[in-house]
Amino acid sequence: MKTQIKKSWAEPYKMKMVELLKMTTRTQRLKAIKDAGYNTFLLKSADVYIDLLTDSGTSAMSDRQWAGMMVGDEAYAGSSNFFHLEETIRKYYGYKYIIPTHQGRGAENILSKVLIKKGNVIPGNMYFTTTRLHQELAGGTFTDIIIDEAHDPLNSHPFKGNVDLDKLDKVVKKYGAKRIPYVSIATNVNMAGGQPISMKNLKELRAYAKKNGIRIIHDMTRVAENAYFIQQREKGYKDKSIAQIVKEICSQTDGATMSAKKDALVNIGGFLATNEWDVYEDARNLVVVYEGLHTYGGLAGRDMEAMSIGIVESLDDFHQQARVGQVEYLGNKMLDYGIPIVKPIGGHGIFVDAKAFLPHLTQDQYPAQTLAAEIYIDSGVRTMERGIVSAGRKANGENYYPKLELVRFTIPRRVYTQAHMDVIAESTYNVFKKRHKIKGLKMAYEPKYLRFFQARFDKLG
Ligand code: F0G
């Protein structure tokens, strides 16, 4: 009999330096989370053991990236690191004109101001918090055109980031193409649980958009993770490299915003890209107002150098296999424990279904916010609410009630070990066993914008 050898996802790197962590007691954590108003964003990171708040800006840079920091050219204008970044983005992503920004939302702000006029409608494959807010602040209205499956945590559609072209067609018929400055497409949709869009769907969307004279703007924050899923799941792509697939994805779009703090393995940075000279000209003018000169956009030269190197490292097939492999390892452990998570397992983290975990709480009692606080108390693992608090309020003041009420366990890239993944799953199971005794929260303070960052809560009962 032939022995089946399991191919592991082990990392294509080794450790050279470690960051020591503070270990805390349950009593210390109970006080810390109460002081933080039961909001994990308001915890001090020194009180956190394993930090899964976000995969944004939390990656471990490589020795080569750190070496790149040493060749930072800190000239105010025309830094050589900018030209290296421009060349890298053109070569690997294929966009023509590039403007660096301090992070993703800097690019979103500028692009929204350039492209959106009052009364415009922006269809997209699920909202992202900062992206939608900038679209709204520029006078537009976001409308969701993702497939229905994306809103069902149990549906295991392999491409839950796909666009429903009938939904898009209805939006176009209702408002007219002239009122739609672009379709907003995220690769590996964050709020759906790190779920990919297929190349087939993207190409169909491209054909539809072209016919109707509508641009596609690409939120490419996690494009390499999306490419990995296409390579693994989509017919015709298993022999293509991540780099080839990423370039093909970008070629289906007219421009992009990027938070390089995720895929591109840097602690700070982003950019805006476009293939249209007019858009570039307007954006290049606006960036001076909000970020800095168009050859640094709020970044130091060394940050741009680390980004150029990180972009190339993110496109390595072994890197993505280990990156997504680690997330899948954690997800499968959670499933073994019977913990309800979004399926299929996503690219950048595990999303626990808080409605199913705490079915005795109503959505107004903030099940995901509650669960994130309970997991922190149990083990010092910090996660993030992605439910009713994150969804915020509509322009008329009413709460959004999103179907997905999730706790996100986001895995930083190249930072934690397999044993850390075990601790996370065990702690979640520990909370799962006593879930019936858990009481909800009520909001005590609500900021106007992006309330999830700074809201405070009190314990019910
Ligand atoms: N687009 C997506 C899909 C994102 O996930 C983020 C950030 C942004 C845009 C904004 O980029 O933070 O660099 O300004 N997501 C982080 C997260 C905050 O934790 O998911 P930014």
Residues 329 and 299 in one domain: no
At which of 314, 330, 360 does a domain end? 314
Residues 77 and 207 in one domain: yes
Residue 415 carries which side chain, given as an amino acid letter?
A: V
Residues 338 and 240 in one domain: no
What ligand 1 atom has the least distance to the C-alpha of 106? 14
Annotated catalytic residue, options 26, 76, 178, 403: 76
| Residue 261 included in any domain | yes
Annotated catalytic residue, options 82, 95, 357, 452: 452
Residues 358 and 323 in one domain: yes
| Residue 343 included in any domain | yes
Name the residue of 221, 271, 413, 452 to mutate for ligand 1: max ligand atoms within 8 A of Cβ: 221
Q: What is the 3 state secondary structure string of 179-246? A: HCCEEEEECCECCCCCECCCHHHHHHHHHHHHHCCCEEEEECCCHHHHHHHHHHHCCCCCCCCHHHHH
> Which protein residue's CA is at the shortest distance from atom 18 of ligand 1?
56
- Report the separation in Å between the CA atom of 135 and the middle of ligand 1, taken as the mean of its atom positions: 15
Does residue 233 carry a catalytic annotation? Answer: no
Measuring CA to CA, how many Å separate 259 from each of 55, 68, 247, 349?
11, 19, 17, 17
- Report the separation in Å between the CA atom of 92 and the middle of ligand 1, taken as the mean of its atom positions: 21
3-state helix vs strand vs coil in the chain, percent to 5:
45, 15, 40
What CATH number is given to the structural domain containing 384? 3.90.1150.10
- Report the separation in Å between the CA atom of 384 and the middle of ligand 1, taken as the mean of its atom positions: 13
Per-residue pLDDT tens over the stretch 143-189: 999 999 999 989 999 999 999 999 999 999 999 999 999 999 999 99
Residues 133 and 266 in one domain: yes
Count of domains for the chain: 2
What ligand 1 atom has the least distance to the C-alpha of 384? 19
| Residue 137 included in any domain | yes
At which of 267, 290, 314 does a domain end? 314
Does residue 7 carry a catalytic annotation? Answer: no
Does residue 76 carry a catalytic annotation? Answer: yes
Two tokens at 459?
Answer: 């314990």
In a 10 Å sphere around its CB, with 0-12 CB exposed, 13-18 middle and 19+ buried, how is residue 454 labelled?
middle
Q: Which amino acids bring their CB within 6 angstroms of ligand 1?
A: 54, 56, 103-105, 128, 130-131, 186, 190, 219, 221, 259, 261, 270
Residue 88 near residue 311, CB atoms below 8 Å: yes
Two tokens at 73?
Answer: 């050219």
- Report the separation in Å between the CA atom of 105 and the middle of ligand 1, taken as the mean of its atom positions: 7
Distance CA 28, CA 377 (A): 9
Does residue 386 carry a catalytic annotation? Answer: yes
Task: Identify the pLDDT of residue 394.
Answer: 87
Q: Is 360 helix (H, G, I), strand (E, B) or coil?
A: coil
Residue 439 is part of which domain span?
A: 26-55+317-459
What CATH number is given to the structural domain containing 158? 3.40.640.10
Structural element, H or E, at residue 99: strand 97-101
Annotated catalytic residue, options 262, 284, 302, 333: 262
Does residue 128 carry a catalytic annotation? Answer: yes
Residues 173 and 49 in one domain: no
- Report the separation in Å between the CA atom of 203 and the middle of ligand 1, taken as the mean of its atom positions: 25
| Residue 64 included in any domain | no
Distance CA 315, CA 263 (A): 9
Residue 79 near residue 245, CB atoms below 8 Å: no
Does residue 129 carry a catalytic annotation? Answer: yes
Distance CA 299, CA 306 (A): 11
* Dihedrals phi, psi of 78, to nearest 5 degrees: 70, 35
Task: Identify the pLDDT of residue 5.
Answer: 63
> Which protein residue's CA is at the shortest distance from atom 15 of ligand 1?
56
Residues 224 and 300 in one domain: yes
DSSP letters of 134-169? HHHHTT-EEEE-B-GGGG-TT---TTTT-B-HHHHH
Two tokens at 229?
Answer: 């899923």
How big is the chain by its Cα radius of gyration, in Å? 22
Q: Is 338 helix (H, G, I), strand (E, B) or coil?
A: coil
Annotated catalytic residue, options 93, 128, 376, 432: 128
Name the residue of 55, 56, 351 to mutate for ligand 1: max ligand atoms within 8 A of Cβ: 56
Give the global pTM. Answer: 0.95
| Residue 63 included in any domain | no
Task: Identify the pLDDT of residue 8.
Answer: 82
At which of 285, 314, 343 does a domain end? 314
Residues 178 and 191 in one domain: yes
Distance CA 331, CA 225 (A): 16
Residues 93 and 196 in one domain: yes
| Residue 10 included in any domain | no
| Residue 14 included in any domain | no
Per-residue pLDDT tens, the chain, 461 aa: give them: 556 666 788 999 999 999 999 999 999 999 999 999 999 999 999 999 999 999 999 999 999 999 999 999 999 999 999 999 999 999 999 999 999 999 999 999 999 999 999 999 999 999 999 999 999 999 999 999 999 999 998 999 999 999 999 999 999 999 999 999 999 999 999 999 999 999 999 999 999 999 999 999 999 999 999 999 999 999 999 999 999 999 999 999 999 999 999 999 999 999 999 999 999 999 999 999 999 999 999 999 999 999 999 999 999 999 999 999 999 999 999 999 999 999 999 999 999 999 999 999 999 999 999 999 999 999 999 999 999 999 999 888 899 999 999 999 999 999 999 999 999 999 999 999 999 999 999 999 999 889 999 999 999 97
Residues 208 and 119 in one domain: yes
Distance CA 41, CA 184 (A): 27
Residues 266 and 294 in one domain: yes
* Dihedrals phi, psi of 58, to nearest 5 degrees: -110, 5
Measuring CA to CA, how many Å separate 98 from each of 95, 112, 227, 373?
7, 16, 22, 40
Residues 302 and 332 in one domain: no
Task: Identify the pLDDT of residue 6.
Answer: 66
Does residue 83 carry a catalytic annotation? Answer: no
What ligand 1 atom has the least distance to the C-alpha of 260? 13
